[in-house]
Amino acid sequence: MSDVTTPPRALRRGLRSAAALLAAATLLGAGAAPSFAAPPGRLPVDAQPAGEQGMLATGGAEATALRTTLQGIVDTGSSAAVGEVRQDGRTVWRGRAGVADLATGTPVPEHARFRIGSVTKTFVATVLLQLSAERRIGLDDPIDRHLPGAVANGSAITVRQLLDHTSGLYNYTDAPGLDPQNESQYLDWLAGPRWQTYQPADLLALANRNAPYFPPGQGWHYSNTNYLLAGLLVEKVTGHPWQQEVDRRIIQPLGLRDTGMPGRSVRLPGPHAHGYVKLSTGPVDVTELNPSVMGAAGQGISGTADLNRFIAALLDGRLLRPAELAEMTRTTDAGPGRGYGLGLARFDTPCGVFWGHSGDLPGYSTMVAGTADGRRQLVLSHNPYDRSDPRAAKSAVTAFLTTAACGANPGH
């Protein structure tokens, strides 16, 4: 979730993720962020070289810049932050800052897991593109061919339009009940819907009660409804739960030990930093929640090493053939300087183009990106908590991402 100092908008932003995705899409260099009071018990950054290599392959200046900018994310209001950079197939920097638990001051675990939110979409899109390569589904198939009656205008919406957010379908996570408008409603969400198990039909009903944003193919609007349907398409075509197909086709072949799609389990298993939202009464721990409300749009859990391994494998052609990868990286205009493909966004940086996705849920914000040649990858996950100055917080995140992408001197 991007902004937890304003609870009425926090849940909507967290479940939707579009604001964070598009804000990160330029990754332009930023000046040093102002320093603000850190959460109680904040610890200094702990950065480690990969494995037993003993030295950071990227050099001392870059490591220092990464440590400083990661700490800046905590200084501007996140309770914790973890990051990792890979170059040419090996991890060249890994760091952590802040605390895993505001109450105890426990340090952030070295290999912390976290909720990845809408980064899940890239996994699901990859599976659908694999099924397209197998000729089991077509990107230009109308969704009514596979899911008749799922949405009112399903005969006019294609699989491709779901994956690139040009369907026009209403975003179900903007619906009343999932979009608290004041602190009282947010407290209601914490006590009730946070723990509720949702079926896809329940969530589609929320979307279907609202008019589309535009006719299919006539605009761009980020909508979790698109990927709720994408998960259902995977299930219809394969006869298996979408989580099982992600596991069989991506997680197991790549050996992603910290990655999973938890269904309706509220726990975040393994080592992790807690996620919080800030209300007028103080911090509320939101580490546990029922992820069924996100479905295939954003229920995943992972870690920095796994996400870097995944994006590297995706972009260097180990998961998709060249034809399908070309489809994935053919972008739709998502605003000035912004492009969105099939579950993958284009990020323009001072040192070239990166491809990836961001994801946000209450208490967790994640970004993964890599170069098209598969040589460099980066992951950032942090726990937004107290953002008294959202502009400074955004600048701190941008500073880290730019350094991770381009090094200590991104303009050179």
Catalytic residues: 118
Tally Cβ neighbours within 10 Å of residue 78.
Answer: 30
Q: Do residues 302 and 268 touch, judged by C-beta distance below 8 A?
A: no
Report the C-alpha gap between 161 and 118 in whole angstroms: 17
Task: Count CA atoms closer than 13 A to 149's CA, side-chain side.
Answer: 1
Q: What interhelical angle do 120-133 and 304-315 show, nearest 10?
A: 30
Greatest alpha-carbon span in the chain: 59
Token pair for 372: 């098209």
Report the C-alpha gap between 287 and 267 in whole angstroms: 8
Tally Cβ neighbours within 10 Å of residue 135.
Answer: 7
Give the residue carrying structure tokens 């001197």.
Answer: 409
Q: Exposed e or buried b for every residue in 210-235, given b needs 16+ CB within 10 A?
A: eebbeebbeebbbbbbbbbbbbbbbb
